[in-house]
Amino acid sequence: MDRTFVLIKPDGIQRGLAGEVISRLEAKGLKLVGARFFLATEAQVMEQYREHIGKPFFPHLKRYIMSGPVLAMVWEGKDAVPVVRRLVGATNPAEAAPGTIRGDLALDTGRNVIHASDSPASAAREAAIYFAEADLISYPRIDEPVLYEWVG
């Protein structure tokens, strides 16, 4: 099984959308293997968004991610990274397709509810910022035989 990293950002938490986001990922058939609710530290934000350091929007992004609680999660499933990226939708909610998390629940790029890793390498790197391997729990979902043709 593949894994990906997802972060519900402060606006998603403040708006009470964590349950909606989790429900959509679970309904797709993905399996939650780790979750942590907390206030992100500056060091964590700097590491997670290191490719954006130096860009004009980075100070605002850093301040925003640290402005309130976030929910970090690791999800598991076949092709988890591209599946979650499709469910999340385009970074700019105005360009996100209806039916996606951002397309349905967000209006502004700077307050777009959710972060999802863009590659398996990024997923592993980002998950390691917030979770030790021992914090992640793999287990069989009872419905895996109806989700995957190769189970059972």
Structure tokens at 2: 């593949």
| Active site annotation includes 52 | no
Q: How far is CA 24 from CA 32, 40, 57, 84, 88, in A?
A: 12, 24, 29, 10, 10
Query: Of residues 3, 9, 31, 115, which has the active-site annotation?
Result: 115
12-20 contacts: CB < 8 A, separation 24 or more? 12/71, 12/105, 12/113, 12/114, 13/68, 13/69, 13/70, 13/71, 14/68, 15/105, 15/113, 17/105, 17/113, 18/71, 20/101, 20/105
Catalytic residues: 115
